[in-house]
Amino acid sequence: MRFEQLDLNLLVALDILLEEQNITRSAARLHLSQSATSGILSRLREYFEDDLLVQVGKKMLPTPFALELQGPVAGVLATIRGAIIGKKINNPEQSNRHFRVIASDYVIQALLVKVLPELEKVAPNITFEFLSPFAHEVNILDRGGADMMIAPETVVLSHYSSVPVISDKLVCVANKDNPLIDGEMTIDKFKTLGHVSVGFAKASHLSIERWLVDTMGISRKVEVITNDFSTMLHTMLNSNRIAMLPKRFVELHLNNPMLQVVGMPFEAPTMKMSMMWHTTLDNDPMHRWLRDKIIASAKAL
């Protein structure tokens, strides 16, 4: 379909090209060859009379005009997906929807793995792609790059729709043979021992970090930062470092003989996670169906 001489199918490609800024990755998401994707970029450049993406060394960087286009293009596509395509099929058994969900390995292991078996039975043709919150900012929802995000409530933005899904305690863990623990964790030990932490949304700390500074006057001695909770746990083991992890995640790994839970010398606040999505998807039947399934599973935790 064309509008003002523009093939509207090219908008989907433009959205992906501007998000990935890479021909190879864009081609994979478009299910096209690299040469075909390069051809699409050439057509877009011709129509807009702008380079859009410029090769700088090994990277492709968007032009100022491309950056101006990115928001409006993503918004149009999000509206089409939510208000038009989303209403085309609202029967889970018939849907072949592909959902892109931003969630940490903690959220996947503690919550989403409990939902997936039921979804497989009820909606066998629906597919999922899990994206790491440690590599994607929240504003990916504005660009239509993901259908939903489950993240700490501290990063929830007011212009998104959201609902709480997980409340969990944080516990302190260490290697079972860590000689520096010596049976009891004190404030001084907590301050002086090296910590392994996780980076969320490109920030090198847990959401509790600000609370530790403001309430306890503690700045952790973070020596290792990882991009997922599983790596965080295994990096801490076989070392003299400690880590703060969600209790439900730790319970899933208590069969590891090297892991011990150490009582914290203070009462840590509850870690709260929320599910958020773009408001254009509020009335999308399949999106609402998936949200309801996740919420029901979260209530059963």
Condensed to tens digits (0 to 9), the pLDDT of residues 137-195 reads 777 887 778 899 999 888 888 889 999 999 999 999 999 988 888 777 899 999 999 99
Q: Which two tokens stand for residue 155?
A: 């990063």
- The pLDDT score that the predictor gives to residue 59 is 82
Condensed to tens digits (0 to 9), the pLDDT of residues 285-297 reads 889 999 999 999 9
If you average pLDDT over residues 217-233, what whole number do you get? 89
- The pLDDT score that the predictor gives to residue 84 is 58
* Residue 74 or 146, more confident: 146
Measure CA 164 to chain center.
16
Q: What is the mean pLDDT of the chain?
A: 86
Tell me the C-alpha distance between 109 and 171, whole Å: 17
Count of CB atoms situated within 10 Å of the CB of 10: 18
Condensed to tens digits (0 to 9), the pLDDT of residues 232-277 reads 999 999 899 999 999 999 999 999 999 999 988 888 889 899 999 9
Asked whether the whole model's pTM tops 0.85, one would answer no
- What are the residues facing 173 on neighbouring strands? 243, 261
Count of CB atoms situated within 10 Å of the CB of 23: 18
Q: Which two tokens stand for residue 119?
A: 């979804």
Indicate the pLDDT class of residue 3, thresholds 50, 70 and 90: very low
If you average pLDDT over residues 214-235, what whole number do you get? 89
Question: Are 293 and 279 within 8 A, CB to CB?
Answer: no
Place of tokens 């979260």: 298
Least confident interval from 23-32, 115-124, 250-259: 23-32
Q: What is the three-state SS of the chain?
A: CEECCEECHHHHHHHHHHHHCCHHHHHHHHCCCHHHHHHHHHHHHHHHCCCCEEEECCEEEECHHHHHHHHHHHHHHHHHHHHHHHHCCCCCCCCCCEEEEECCHHHHHHHHHHHHHHHHHHCCCCEEEEECCCCCCHHHHCCCCCCEEEEEHHHCCCCCEEEEEEEECEEEEEECCCCCCCCCCCHHHHHHCEEEEECECCECCCCCHHHHHHHHCCCCEEEEEECCHHHHHHHHCCCCCEEEEEHHHHHCCCCCCCEEEECCCCCCCCEEEEEEECHHHCCCHHHHHHHHHHHHHHHCC
Indicate the pLDDT class of residue 83, thresholds 50, 70 and 90: low
Tell me the C-alpha distance between 6 and 49, whole Å: 13
Where on the phi/psi map is residue 46: left (φ > 0), alpha (ψ -120 to 50), or beta? alpha
Phi, psi of 55 (to 5 degrees): -75, 120
Count of CB atoms situated within 10 Å of the CB of 301: 12
Q: CA 293, 296, 298, 300: dihedral to nearest 10 degrees?
A: -140
Indicate the pLDDT class of residue 89, thresholds 50, 70 and 90: low
Strands 148-152 and 271-277: antiparallel
101 burial type by CB count under 10 A (0-12 exposed, 13-18 middle, 19+ buried): buried
